[in-house]
Chains A and B, each alone.
Chain A
Amino acid sequence: MEVDREFKIVTLGEGRVGKTSLAMRYVRGQFNEKEQSTTNANFLEKNIRINETSIKLNIWDTAGQERFRALAPNYYREAKGALLVYDITDKESFWKVVSWVEELKMQADKDISFVIAGNKCDLELDRQIPKEQAIAYAKQIGAAHYSTSAKSGMGVNECFEEIAKLILDKESRSGSPIRSSKARSRVIVKNQEEVVKKKKSGGCC
């Protein structure tokens, strides 16, 4: 199959919010409670078609545990889209999304597109994050918000395809495919390390 575009998307979020389940659900169309845990990252791909454009999505599904966080810049630099996942039954996981947004704004590609996914919405009864609050936040940072459930499949395709659409939109507006230059990203990496260190010593979260 011929591919017109190739986009790299990274999933970010606290450990166990369901990043891997979402990605697997999307790519393989199934929910597997027996999913393997992620140590550094999983690498997946899926071919889709949006408005006559065939796109290969490379999904880099990162580990959420705090001690792997220093690795994250390797994954999100060069990424054109980020899926930020939180667990609707876990307040802290939402604050983690907020902190990821801050980090990405500073460190990632300027044109990176965000989508926020409130996962596990099959557990509506245990909800701790009011949907309105999450939507309002997403709006504020110019991102789309989706309620997803890797278990039922709700919102899964939509959120990934939304990212692809956002990236395509940005490309068509800027008139040419966005290409992040390597030279630039190398420089960014250096900065990232510094920032990450600073953040650590500051002791956030």
Chain B
Amino acid sequence: MLKTEELQINIGPQHPSTHGVFRMIVTVDGETITDLKPVFGYLHRNHEQIAEQNTYLQNMPYTDRLDYFNSMANNQAYAMAVEQLVGIEVPERAEYLRVMMVELTRILNHAGALGFLINDMGMWQTQLAFGMREREKILDLFESASGARLMCNYFRFGGVVRDLPPDFIPRLKELLQAMPAFVDELERLLRENEILMQRAEGIGILPRDLALAYSVSGPVLRGSGIPYDVRKAEPYSVYDRFDFDVPVGTVGDVYDRFLVRIEEMRQSRRILQQVIEQLPDAQGGHINPKARQNVRPPVGDVYARIESPKGELGFYLVSDGSGKPYRYKVRAPSFINLTPLGDMCRGYKVADVVVILGSIDIVMGEVDR
């Protein structure tokens, strides 16, 4: 075999395929990657320390900025942590509204992420526009409920800030009816395309045991064949009332992670249909009227976690009895899912790096914090 000299190249920080300001120092032997070191911090703003200067309620809109694709999911994890710390009860109806918003978030996140993934594979812009088109419809729903499209700031301690507008449920039903066609279309795009399959199958393999050792979570972990989903493993909110499946992959390559996300969109649709059925019978209003927003929790610590679209999102809070958190720690799924990136890329070609990175689905606002 021809011997070639090893070369170090930088991918990023300014690169359209790194999904933000992210740099990878790649050592290549010809076209083959022998080592990869991620470098981040370009978006670091010490989120945790700023949050420790804020009151508990001031942090609610600040969590929107972590993973700006999924502001509703961030809100839920943070609200749950504070509610457990203070001991606030959430009415049944509010729990259903929360689940509804987070499952819609999951659909829009996966629609966007899969659009970007196929974009990274070189099928330029077409399917990204498809994904963004679906995302727009959900963002319109969010706007009608919360007043904002991206930074929703919809959750409060003890519920959500306001009830749904009257036309929300009919519009949601319409959206769910049109959804299977879109999901099938997105799946067909990859499955029936020889070129894209070549870029996805057998690329970026993360074996089952390694996935667990690297403590990845979300679709990356499930793509490697481990059926771990916080919604099932440690049910929170009202998730124990819904009937849904946890899709898993077999090999743990890019293709498996793609399929897991496709199937999760279908399962989210199933959950949303059950939410619509059960919502009229739910007790209580959209918020617990006794819940104070200006909280001063008793001294103690708490960890609350949810299954965000990107993986396990957790908040660790320590209270010193004042109105501001003494310690505020975010367990960011995108950040931890990047740990095995070097191992996943080793042995593949330079062009595969962007595809593997796209299949992890990161948002730098959450990685760098």
Same complex origin of A and B = no
User: Residues of B with Cβ closer than 8 Å to A?
Assistant: none
User: Residues of A with Cβ closer than 8 Å to B?
Assistant: none
